[in-house]
């Protein structure tokens, strides 16, 4: 089983934080640059997917849907499933800019995993829902022989990091030391014969993990950011 993870392209919220005050998070569109990033990612994503068929699971947010359309790879998609459990961490509905900044500072000080946003989720909540999604996906593949063995997931930075954390059994401290993938940057997960998951290349790391945990490759060797 192979899973190609892809973060969405640059969205309006990435260049204008005030957009969250007037547009619901789920409705924020890609910028022109984000649309170009999606089109530019097509060749690399197509190569990673292989000959197909491919099952696609995509966050229902507008920016992820637009990213998927921008790839223009429908010919290899056996199915496309809009999966709410792959959505971005919930920060609440329309956000007040002053409260938003206060929440960000508190979250940074407290930790991105356990800090619960006042009107939304904690990272732990996202971790739980991606774990439920993966459990259902693996069970579906076991009971449905026709389900493709290659899966493309189009989602959000923190959501993808937490999905990898779960599958690779990384510590919370290591998760909090890693950066999100860049817009339209991909990672590939592979499940080996022993049932263990490995990541093709590490996430960028902005500090050493306080508990000494490291990212490892499929051979159990230490993998450091390039």
Q: What is the CATH number of the domain that holds 192?
A: 3.40.50.1240
The Cα–Cα gap between 187 and 185 comes to 7
Q: Would residue 218 count as lying in a domain?
A: no
Q: Over the stretch 100-154, which tens digit does the pLDDT of each residue have?
A: 888 889 888 888 899 998 889 999 999 999 999 999 999 999 999 999 999 999 9
Q: Would residue 52 count as lying in a domain?
A: yes
Query: Within 13 A of 80's CA, how many CA atoms are on the CB side?
Result: 14
CB 55 within 8 A of CB 148: yes
The Cα–Cα gap between 5 and 20 comes to 25
Q: Please give the model's pTM, rounded to 2 decimal places.
A: 0.93
Three-class DSSP category at 180: coil
- Residues annotated in the binding site for substrate, as ranges? 7-14, 63
Q: Which residues are catalytic?
A: 8, 88
Q: Would residue 211 count as lying in a domain?
A: no
Q: Would residue 214 count as lying in a domain?
A: no
pLDDT of residue 225: 45
Q: Would residue 220 count as lying in a domain?
A: no
CB 99 within 8 A of CB 38: no
Q: How many domains are contained in the chain?
A: 1
Q: Would residue 206 count as lying in a domain?
A: no
Pairing of strands 77-82, 2-7: unpaired
- Residues annotated in the binding site, as ranges? 7-14, 63
CB 97 within 8 A of CB 69: no
Residue 150: beta bridge partners?
Answer: 2, 54
Write out the residue range of the structural domain in which residue 36 sits.
2-199
CA Rg value for the chain = 17
Q: Would residue 48 count as lying in a domain?
A: yes
The angle, 0 to 180 degrees and rounded to 10, between the axes of the packed helices 42-49 and 62-71 is: 80
Three-class DSSP category at 153: strand
pLDDT of residue 217: 54
Q: Would residue 132 count as lying in a domain?
A: yes
pLDDT of residue 104: 86
């Amino acid at each position: 089983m192979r899973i190609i993870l892809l973060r969405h392209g640059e969205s309006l919220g990435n260049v204008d934080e005030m957009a969250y005050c007037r547009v619901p998070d789920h409705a924020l569109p890609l910028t022109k640059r984000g649309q170009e990033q999606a089109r530019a990612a097509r060749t690399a994503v197509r190569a990673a997917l292989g000959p197909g068929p491919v099952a696609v699971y995509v966050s229902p947010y507008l920016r992820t849907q637009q990213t998927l359309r921008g790839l223009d790879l429908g010919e290899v998609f056996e199915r496309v499933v809009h999966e709410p459990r792959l959505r971005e961490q919930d920060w609440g509905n329309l956000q007040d800019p002053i409260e938003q900044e206060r929440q960000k500072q508190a979250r940074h000080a407290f930790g991105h995993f356990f800090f619960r946003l006042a009107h939304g989720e904690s990272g732990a909540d996202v971790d739980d829902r991606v774990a439920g999604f993966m459990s259902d996906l693996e069970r579906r593949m076991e009971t449905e022989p026709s389900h493709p063995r290659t899966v493309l997931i189009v989602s959000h930075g923190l959501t993808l990091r937490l999905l990898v954390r779960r599958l690779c059994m990384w510590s919370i401290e290591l998760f909090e030391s890693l950066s999100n993938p860049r817009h339209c940057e991909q990672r590939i997960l592979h499940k080996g014969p022993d049932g263990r998951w490995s990541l093709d290349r590490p996430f960028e790391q902005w500090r050493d993990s306080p508990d000494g945990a490291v990212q490892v490759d499929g051979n159990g060797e230490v993998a450091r950011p390039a």
